Chain A
């Protein structure tokens, strides 16, 4: 079974530029999560989708971050404009359902460096 796919794996941009990350979850997984992991920290949830609807985006900085999952499968996370403090690993995870006993499977992440 294929795991969670993410691209690109690495991205370097200058501050104020825009960037987009793509995630393809495990086939059949209804729930998709985007996490931000700053160096030396654990992942922090940015947004959770159930199919193509947003379940929780309370920690998403909506002035610059946006995410969509239009057909309930792939998802994109965008930052516009980027700031220096956005340098982090952006992890995508998916689970079969959104209940608390469902295992979340993580992708390898996209490493973003903002200069």
Chain B
């Protein structure tokens, strides 16, 4: 089945640093999504990308939909302690909305 390779698995950074994570796939997706999951909670949508090449920002977060439609990256600028959590990429390939998730990137921010 379809799989997403998300990297890095984990990151330990200092507050104020920028962060970059990415996702690649062997399959083409129509939509790329980035979610954040806090402990004990469900994933929350951060950014949705619907068009190849699209670059979208949401505050300090910026994400891009790769031109090949097989990859996406998420950048977080000037990290703060509340950025701590697990970030998941997800791709949608079909018309029914089914999501395929990556394994997540665990972000730790040192004050």
Contact = CB atoms under 8 A, between A and B. Distances in A.
Nearest to A59: B1
A101 to B, nearest CB: 6
A102 B101 contact: no
B58 interface: no
A48 B97 contact: yes
A102 B42 contact: no
B82 interface: no
Interface string B1-42: 000101000000000000000000000001100000000111
Interface residues of A, number: 27
Contacts of B31: 100-101
Interface in B59-111: 88, 90, 92, 94-99, 101-104
Main secondary structure of the interface of A (DSSP, over half): loop
B45 A104 contact: yes
A42 B101 contact: yes
A98 interface: yes
Nearest to B41: A108
A34 to B, nearest CB: 12
A42 B102 contact: yes
A108 B40 contact: yes
Given A43-B43, A108-B40, A108-B42, A100 B94 contact: yes
Contacts of B44: 106
A109 interface: yes
Interface of B: 4, 6, 30-31, 40-45, 48, 50, 88, 90, 92, 94-99, 101-104
